């Protein structure tokens, strides 16, 4: 029997916290380890409760969620961080991922998408809400060019990682194969998603097929 995913919620509004709790209880397989509206309390709660995942609002009662994410990532590098926010603004997704978040979701997304985002992050991958992508007018990956193959915006290492993601590799698997840290693998994945305007591994895989990356030869891993 699988252990439940331990979740800590840092959210400014009590009703939203209660809604998340009800959703997780109904879905099953989750354990709410704590909740807070205060950014100042988050680091201590993560240390005391050892959650697998932190659901983090960007606008807490006393601090910025971006700074909280940065502190949690430094102190607890293996904890998952999923930003759940009410507003998306230019730079919000980029800033969140750069601060160490593994995913970005909007509060007006459906409950099922929250569960999908949690499962994606807990599998070692990155998730960005498609609504956030559309709100920021990021390029549509389905319109990627088919003829020339490799995107000029991606480095050779990023192209290599796109192929690995298309093959189903998690951040841990990519790190092991390329002899890099998991944090570096996560950063590469996040940079690829931001450059191409993608929000999950399935869209990266679709982009790889459309652009011909899956047919390109593998680069050396050394």
Query: By the 8 A CB rule, do 20 and 38 touch?
Result: no
State the pLDDT at residue 31.
95
Instruction: Say whether both 80 and 189 belong to one domain.
Output: no
Distances in Å between the Cα of 168 and the Cα atoms of 97, 100, 152, 157, 216 are 21, 22, 23, 17, 17
33 domain-assigned: yes
Instruction: Say whether both 111 and 39 belong to one domain.
Output: yes
112 domain-assigned: yes
Query: By the 8 A CB rule, do 142 and 204 touch?
Result: no
Domain count along the chain: 2
State the pLDDT at residue 1.
52
State the pLDDT at residue 136.
57
State the pLDDT at residue 151.
52
3-class SS of residue 24? helix
Instruction: Say whether both 85 and 184 belong to one domain.
Output: no
At which of 106, 135, 164 does a domain end? 135
The structure tokens listed for 90 are: 């230019």
Question: CA 141, CA 130: separation in Å to the nearest integer?
Answer: 11
Instruction: Say whether both 32 and 114 belong to one domain.
Output: yes
Q: Where are the beta strands (DSSP E) in 28-102?
A: 30-36, 53-56, 80-85
At which of 112, 135, 158 does a domain end? 135
Lookup result for tokens 């397989």: 29
222 domain-assigned: no
Question: CA 5, CA 2: separation in Å to the nearest integer?
Answer: 9
Residue 189, domain extent: 142-214
State the pLDDT at residue 86.
86
Question: CA 109, CA 115: separation in Å to the nearest integer?
Answer: 11
Q: Which residues in the chain show pLDDT less than 50?
A: 137-150, 216-222
Instruction: Say whether both 31 and 117 belong to one domain.
Output: yes
52 domain-assigned: yes
Query: By the 8 A CB rule, do 79 and 72 touch?
Result: yes
This prediction has a pTM of 0.66
- Residue 105: give its domain's CATH number: 3.40.50.2300
Instruction: Say whether both 118 and 154 belong to one domain.
Output: no
Other CB atoms within 10 A of residue 156 CB = 9
Other CB atoms within 10 A of residue 214 CB = 15
At which of 135, 150, 171 does a domain end? 135
Helices (H) and strands (E) in the chain, counts: 10, 6
220 domain-assigned: no
Instruction: Say whether both 47 and 127 belong to one domain.
Output: yes
Instruction: Say whether both 105 and 178 belong to one domain.
Output: no
Instruction: Say whether both 131 and 148 belong to one domain.
Output: no
Instruction: Say whether both 121 and 197 belong to one domain.
Output: no
State the pLDDT at residue 156.
84
């Amino acid at each position: 029997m699988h252990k439940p995913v331990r979740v800590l919620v840092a959210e400014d509004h009590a009703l939203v916290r209660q809604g998340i709790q009800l959703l997780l209880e109904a879905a099953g397989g989750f354990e709410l380890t704590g909740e807070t509206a205060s950014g100042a309390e988050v680091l201590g709660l993560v240390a005391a409760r050892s959650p697998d995942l932190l659901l983090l609002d960007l606008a807490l009662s006393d601090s910025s969620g971006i700074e909280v994410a940065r502190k949690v990532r430094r102190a607890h590098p293996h904890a998952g961080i999923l930003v759940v926010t009410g507003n998306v603004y230019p730079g919000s997704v980029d800033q969140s991922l750069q601060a160490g978040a593994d995913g970005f979701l909007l509060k007006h997304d459906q409950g099922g998408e929250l569960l999908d985002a949690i499962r994606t992050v807990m599998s070692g991958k990155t998730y960005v809400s498609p609504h956030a992508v559309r709100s920021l007018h990021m390029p549509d990956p389905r319109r990627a060019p088919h003829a020339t193959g490799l995107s000029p915006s991606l480095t050779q290492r990023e192209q290599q990682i796109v192929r690995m993601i298309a093959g189903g590799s998690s951040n841990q698997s990519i790190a092991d194969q390329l002899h890099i840290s998991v944090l570096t693998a996560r950063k590469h994945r996040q940079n690829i998603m931001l450059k191409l305007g993608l929000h999950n591994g399935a869209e990266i895989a679709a982009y790889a097929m459309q652009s011909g990356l899956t047919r390109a030869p593998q680069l050396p891993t050394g």
